[in-house]
């Protein structure tokens, strides 16, 4: 199998010393094993994220994403763009779709980007994809399974998909309400998926974790509770915002509600790296505030 190559949009949270830097570490390790080459978009900028709307209107947000699209095309013409962050994926894809549908928006965007010396040319055929799509659609469970050298035996993992990896686009063939791909992936890696986990698409509050912490933490509490109720030892997610929200507020929730949550929240890429035989560092396990001990043990084997 030849090397798979993609134009890559890592997103702000993946930078060094940011909230999802360990995600990035594990993605790199995972891709190495899978022989996937990621061509980082040169000088990419923020997607505007889902909270950018208030001050930045539709056009400024679109301009930001169009800038990335143009830079990607210039650097890696014809390649699909892959994002690891749900918001990045969603923002870019949404903007790309609108540019294809709304001529005024397109022209305004072109005009704006000229100011930055960028010529935006709309490529309707351009695919903007999430890393999970690449794994499932391009590589497939079988091939992923073939790389597993340290099956994650006996680890019960709840697949928390969250919102934006799942809606409104989602992974082809999966349901918005009960996507199963994380469970299938967990199974492929030799772990035990908690299939009945019933909060897999519950919103963690997203950016409102900052501005409306109480409301968001009520959501996170539901997500954690169900994982415990169904016997999960670990939560896995494809989204940096989900990962952070579900992981870092556990102590605050415990304080507020008298609960005793302490459950590791990992990225799928961390699971894969470990299952593929990578060590704890390669899997970015040092980046987990709540240590994924079981993974560390397997990685150390």
Partner 1 sequence: MSNTAMVKKYRNDFLREVEEKVEEGDWVRMCMQCGVCAGSCPLGDAWEHPPQEIFMMIRAGKREEVLGSDSMWMCTSCYNCIVRCPRELPITHIMHGLANYAHRLGLAPKANPTRRFAKIFWDNIATSGRVNELKLSLGLYFMDGFGNGIKKALAMKDVGLGLLKTGRLDPMGLFKAGGIKDKSGLQKALKKAREIEDTRKGY
Partner 2 sequence: MTDVVATNQTILVVGGGISGMTAAIESAECGKDVILVERNPSLGGRVSQLYRYFPKLCKPSCGQEINQRRIMAHPRVRVLTMTEVDKIEGEAGNYSVTLKTAPRYVNEKCTACGDCAEAISAEVDDPHNFNMKKHKAAYLPTNMAAPQRYVLDPSIIGTEDAEKARAACKYDAIDLDMQEESLSLNVGAVIWATGFKPYDAAKIQPYGYDRFDNVVTNMEFERMMDPFGPTGGKLLRPSDGKEAKKIAFIQCAGSRDRNHLKHCSRFCCMASLKQTTYLTEAYGDDDDASATIYYIDIRAIDRFEDFYQKVKDDKKVSFIKSKVANITQDRESKNPILHGVNTEGYHRYDDEYDLVVLAVGMDPEVKADEIGCKVAANTSGFIDAHADDAGCGIFGAGCATDALDVNRAVQNSTAASLKAIQVINKTAGAEA
Residues that bind partner 1 (CB under 8 A): 12-13, 15-22, 43-46, 48-60, 62-64, 67, 108-109, 111-118, 163-164, 167-168, 176, 202-203, 205-208, 210-212, 215-216, 219, 248-249, 251-252, 286-289
DSSP 179-211: --HHHHHHHHTT-EE-TT-TTTT----TTHHHH
Q: Which is nearer to partner 1, 33 or 109 (CB)?
A: 109
Which does residue 15 touch among partner 2, partner 1, none (CB within 5 to 8 A, set by kind)?
Answer: partner 1
- Other Cβ atoms within 10 Å of 73 Cβ, number: 20
Which does residue 203 touch among partner 1, partner 2, none (CB within 5 to 8 A, set by kind)?
Answer: partner 1
Tell how strand 128-130 and strand 192-193 pair up: unpaired
Q: ∠ CA 76-79-80 to the nearest 5 degrees?
A: 130
- Of 134, 132, 141, 139, the closest CA to residue 161 belongs to 132
Smallest gap, in angstroms, from Cβ of residue 137 to partner 2? 20
In order of 4, 52, 159, 238, the CA distances from 278 in angstroms are 20, 37, 21, 19
* Pair 232, 157: CB distance under 8 Å: yes
Which does residue 206 touch among partner 1, partner 2, none (CB within 5 to 8 A, set by kind)?
Answer: partner 1
Q: Which is nearer to partner 2, 8 or 197 (CB)?
A: 197
Q: Which is nearer to partner 1, 78 or 168 (CB)?
A: 168
Smallest gap, in angstroms, from Cβ of residue 176 to partner 2? 6
Smallest gap, in angstroms, from Cβ of residue 211 to partner 2? 22
Q: Which is nearer to partner 1, 33 or 68 (CB)?
A: 68
Which does residue 229 touch among partner 1, partner 2, none (CB within 5 to 8 A, set by kind)?
Answer: partner 2
The Cα–Cα gap between 275 and 149 comes to: 6
Which does residue 9 touch among partner 1, partner 2, none (CB within 5 to 8 A, set by kind)?
Answer: none
Q: Which is nearer to partner 1, 92 or 109 (CB)?
A: 109
* Pair 24, 10: CB distance under 8 Å: yes
Which does residue 118 touch among partner 1, partner 2, none (CB within 5 to 8 A, set by kind)?
Answer: partner 1
Which does residue 41 touch among partner 1, partner 2, none (CB within 5 to 8 A, set by kind)?
Answer: none
Q: Which is nearer to partner 2, 127 or 178 (CB)?
A: 178
Structure tokens at 200: 């897999």
Q: Which is nearer to partner 2, 40 or 198 (CB)?
A: 198
In order of 4, 7, 131, the CA distances from 36 in angstroms are 5, 11, 11
For 80: left if phi > 0, alpha if psi spans -120 to 50, otherwise beta; the answer is beta
User: Which residue pairs, CB below 8 angstroms and at least 24 apart, start in 108-115?
Assistant: 108/59, 109/59, 109/62, 109/63, 109/66, 112/59, 112/60, 112/63, 113/63, 113/66, 113/67, 113/70
The Cα–Cα gap between 19 and 49 comes to: 15
Binding residues (CB under 8 A) for partner 2: these are 175-178, 198, 229
Smallest gap, in angstroms, from Cβ of residue 243 to partner 1? 10
Q: Which is nearer to partner 1, 149 or 175 (CB)?
A: 175
Smallest gap, in angstroms, from Cβ of residue 62 to partner 1? 8
Which does residue 178 touch among partner 2, partner 1, none (CB within 5 to 8 A, set by kind)?
Answer: partner 2
């Amino acid at each position: 199998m030849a090397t798979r190559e993609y134009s890559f949009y890592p997103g702000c949270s993946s930078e060094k010393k940011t909230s999802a830097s360990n995600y990035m570490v594990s993605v790199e390790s995972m891709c190495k094993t899978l022989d996937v080459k990621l061509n980082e978009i040169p000088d990419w900028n923020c997607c505007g994220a889902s909270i950018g709307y208030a001050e930045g209107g539709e056009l400024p947000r679109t301009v930001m994403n169009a800038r990335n699209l143009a830079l990607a095309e210039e650097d890696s013409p014809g390649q699909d763009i892959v994002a690891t962050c749900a918001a990045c994926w969603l923002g870019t894809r949404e903007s790309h779709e609108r540019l294809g549908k709304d001529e005024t928006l397109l022209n305004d965007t072109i005009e704006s980007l000229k100011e930055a010396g960028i010529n935006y040319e709309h490529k309707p055929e351009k695919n903007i994809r999430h890393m999970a799509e690449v794994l499932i659609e391009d590589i497939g469970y079988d091939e992923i399974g073939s790389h597993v050298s340290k099956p994650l035996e006996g680890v019960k993992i709840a697949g928390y998909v969250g919102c934006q990896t799942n809606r409104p686009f989602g992974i082809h063939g999966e349901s918005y309400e009960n996507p199963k791909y994380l469970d299938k992936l967990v199974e492929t890696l030799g772990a035990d998926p908690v299939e009945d986990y019933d909060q897999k698409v519950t919103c963690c509050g997203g950016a409102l974790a900052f501005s409306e912490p109480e409301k968001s933490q009520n959501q996170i509490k539901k997500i954690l509770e169900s994982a415990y109720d169904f016997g999960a030892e670990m939560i896995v997610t494809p989204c940096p915002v989900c990962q952070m929200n579900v992981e870092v507020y556990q102590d605050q929730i415990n304080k507020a509600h008298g609960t005793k949550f302490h459950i590791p929240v990992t990225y799928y890429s961390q699971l894969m790296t470990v299952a593929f035989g990578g060590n704890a560092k390669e899997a970015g396990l040092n980046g987990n505030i709540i240590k994924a001990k079981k993974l560390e043990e397997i990685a150390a084997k």
